[in-house]
A and B are shown apart, each in its own frame.
Chain A
Amino acid sequence: MRLAPPGPRDPLKLAAAPLMPPGGRSREAIGLAAAAARGRFMLQVCGECELVQYPPRAVCGGCLGVGLRWREVPAGGALLARTIIRISVDPYFRTLTPWSIGTVQLDCGPQVVAHLHGDVAGRVRMTLKLDKAGQGVMLALPEQDTPDMHDDPAWRALTADPRGRRVLVTDGRTALGQAMARGMLAAGARAVFVGIAEPWRPFDGAGLRMAGIEAVALDVTDQDSVHRMAASLGGRVEICVNTALHLRPAGVLALDLGEARAAMEVNYLGALRLAQALGPAMRGRAADGEYAAVAWVNLISAHALAAPGGFGGAAAAQAAALALAQSLRPALRPLRVVNALIGPIDDEWHQALPPPKLAPAAIAAAVVRALCDGVEDLAVGDIAQDILARWADNPAILVRDVPG
């Protein structure tokens, strides 16, 4: 069923409240959310008897072994039974009925109850997605892609497709911001706004204007500017992508204090100002129709986790930005907070740095893909992926031996 394009909203109708599905989970079950955030289909597997577990638990359901490890498992399965929920006592699901759930026999062993894509029949592809409460839930997809499958209500409730939505890209002066704006437009965004700080400085916006991208005055270091932007756009932006970054290589001892402060002003305080001014307005519109406000995207250098010497001075502001980005998740739900770790960008500030460096368009493409797939945690490019993988493996070793 093809989704109708966004139409005018009845201004006299009360907007649907930004409700969330039940969010309580055991600590073990949060592993599902961690896997879903990365777009991976993972379950606990017993280290002793190899039994795949579901639901998540503390000890193996087969041998009572305690060595359960989260591992990627085969995602195939077969639909055993389908139930259509027409009446629910849960306020969130009441807004979604009729809603399909089903029992699926996973190829890897367990039987699970999953949300069902409307086109599911027989064999299925299982996915783990984050629901509006930020918890990991299973969504069964048809084994092969079907026409307009991304218009399915279950898919849309568990993803953040830019198509038909209005996107704010907070800094349009950089190649990254411009690539992001063009990427969102190519992904079907209904409107794209780019922030332009210090409008008195030269800015050739002709190319952006030709593409249909609108420049708005926005300087994340200026409280008043952020509030004026939020007053103008808070009611008409569904995705915010914060590209206002101050990313420049700098060691610790030679770091200019003005430079350090500028990095903190933009990367941490700028993001904080944006979140405080625009976040509540977007969050309040998180259930406002088919094209409701849906996502907040932070771009953070992977050096927030650990940085080589030449980036040590710049890393503190990135660590602050990462801490903020993680705190934004519970604060902004049911908005999806996407945190993309990136490596050094191929820009004028990294001229002396050898490859690999990230092309702005590659970052934009990765963010669009994450939104479309409902992914919240991603690392873009070789350096960020390497740092993240080694951080997950052993942070104590990583901080003593950072690549780059």
Chain B
Amino acid sequence: MNDQELVRSVISGNEKAFQVLVEQHQQMVLNTCMGLVHQRNDAEDLAQEVFVEVYRSMAGFRSDSKLSTWIYRIAINKSLNFIRDNKRRKLFRSFETIFGQGQPNLPSESSSDRPDRGLENKQRRERLHAAIDSLPERQRVAFTLNKFEDLPYQKIAEVMGLSLASVESLIHRAKLNLQKKLYKCYKKDD
């Protein structure tokens, strides 16, 4: 079943077709969300919301882009919105902590997510995620799609609505920036 047939079937109410769609794309959506939000539980919740959105907006899908490109865009937008909301929530929480209400920031879920990992790996992971998060938004998205999804530059250009040259430049700069930020951390650790 190609993309158009799949979309037509889902719109006509075929549940089996929607299940096929979810199963075909769930790994790519989960990887994309994970690459941007870094927390397993958050990434899973977001991936579910992505497919809820896909289901509801399916009638509005125009076949001028590939289905996977459209789903990538939804996953990226959801993840970026989640990150922005999270920043806002953290800000409010810090105000509450300052004014004596609420609890101080607890360690993130990630620390308990992977009990099998050693402390060193945990610190490395936090450092790496912080470095990725500090990249400018477009560099972060391009880098994530390239690293987590192994997407070719041309596909990233389609998803982000940019030219191939812009994507090449974004990813190159993202890698240089990431490297620089990590070097700073290594030097601080010495």
Whether chains A and B associate is no
A binding-site residues for B, Cβ under 8 Å: none
B residues neighboring A (CB under 8 Å): none
